Amino acid sequence: MDIFGVPVQALMAQLMIGLVNGCFYAVLSLGLAVIFGMLHVINFTHGAMFMLGALLSWAGLYYFELNYWVMLFLAPLVVGVFGIVLERLFLKRIYKLDYLYGLLLTLGLTLIIEGAVRSVYGVSGKPYGPAPISGVTDLGFLMIPNYRLWVIVASLLVCAATWYTIERTRLGAYLRAATENPKLVEAFGINVPVLVSLTFGFGVALAAFAGVLAAPIMQVSALTGQTMIVIVFAVVVIGGMGSIAGTVVTGIGLGLVEALTKVYYPEASSMVMFLVMVLVLLVRPNGLFGGVE
């Protein structure tokens, strides 16, 4: 059976890859949105943190023989702590300034991180070796590698957990309140600066988590983050940063659109999400799920 001249099997396989990429976009833009909500800073280092997560999982295996599952826990922790250090050292000094300086500062930090990784490892990707979960599952219409299935499940679980934490727990209530009115929340005896640091740490830890997931299936190199961050920017422009569900849906949707383009018009596959962004801006300037800024 063919759909517009492409066999169903091939189409489904591409869509599955698109779904996996979409999951990465979703987790990354979720972290970016959480950080932006609290700090009002667009975290340019997000792509670099994704790259660091992947690199750490590779380094853990290569130098210390720590397996994938250990690093899946350890890498986000290390990157999260690193993020908190950056926040305490640098970011906290610019909250009162124009948004431009937050962008510039994180851009500068990105260049330092990527430059440092590049001077140690060069620009070529690090092959991770075989995926930690082998085998394929037959879904009837499609054979899917188990590892990719795990990536999808893990990403969606993390997104759901983040949503639950922010919308349904006491900590999440503090967070949302501090986003609205930090002064008032502080007056209630809640330590807002610590909350801000933790938010930043959590956001970049999410990026690192996605990085570890990506390590076995993407050749992650020092410059992977640069490509990733621009795509994530397009995702948050399209989806708006107001709703968690909106961000996740947009990320996954864009991954699928990218995959479809790869099947039918491969030349445009790297450009299609930016074209979607242009279209959305022309029709709905505030984004698909965005209210008023």
**Residues lying near another protein in the complex (CB under 8 A):** 36, 42, 90, 93-94, 97, 99-101, 103-105, 107-116, 118-119, 226, 230, 233-234, 236-237, 267, 270-271, 274-275, 277-278, 281-282, 285-286, 293
CB of 41 to another protein, least distance (A): 9
CB of 277 to another protein, least distance (A): 6
- Measured from the CB atom, the residue of 153 and 281 that comes closer to another protein is 281
Instruction: Kindly state the DSSP code that residue 291 receives in the 8-state scheme.
Output: -
Letter for the amino acid at 98? D
- Measured from the CB atom, the residue of 72 and 220 that comes closer to another protein is 220
E strands in 10-93: none
- Measured from the CB atom, the residue of 47 and 201 that comes closer to another protein is 47
E strands in the chain: 2-3, 6-7, 136-138, 143-145
CB of 151 to another protein, least distance (A): 25
Query: Residues near 183 by Cβ (< 8 Å), separated by ≥ 6?
Result: none
CB of 275 to another protein, least distance (A): 7
Q: What are the CB-based long-range contacts (under 8 Å, 24+) for 135-139?
A: none
- Measured from the CB atom, the residue of 3 and 230 that comes closer to another protein is 230
Instruction: Kindly state the DSSP code that residue 240 receives in the 8-state scheme.
Output: -
- Measured from the CB atom, the residue of 16 and 41 that comes closer to another protein is 41
- Measured from the CB atom, the residue of 2 and 98 that comes closer to another protein is 98
CB of 264 to another protein, least distance (A): 16
Whole-angstrom Cα distance, residue 206 to residue 159? Answer: 9
Residues 226 and 118: beta-carbon distance below 8 Å: no
CB of 20 to another protein, least distance (A): 21
Residues 60 and 73: beta-carbon distance below 8 Å: no
Whole-angstrom Cα distance, residue 189 to residue 174? Answer: 11
**For the packed helices 224-239 and 8-39, what is the interaxial angle rounded to 10 degrees?**
80
123 three-state secondary structure: coil
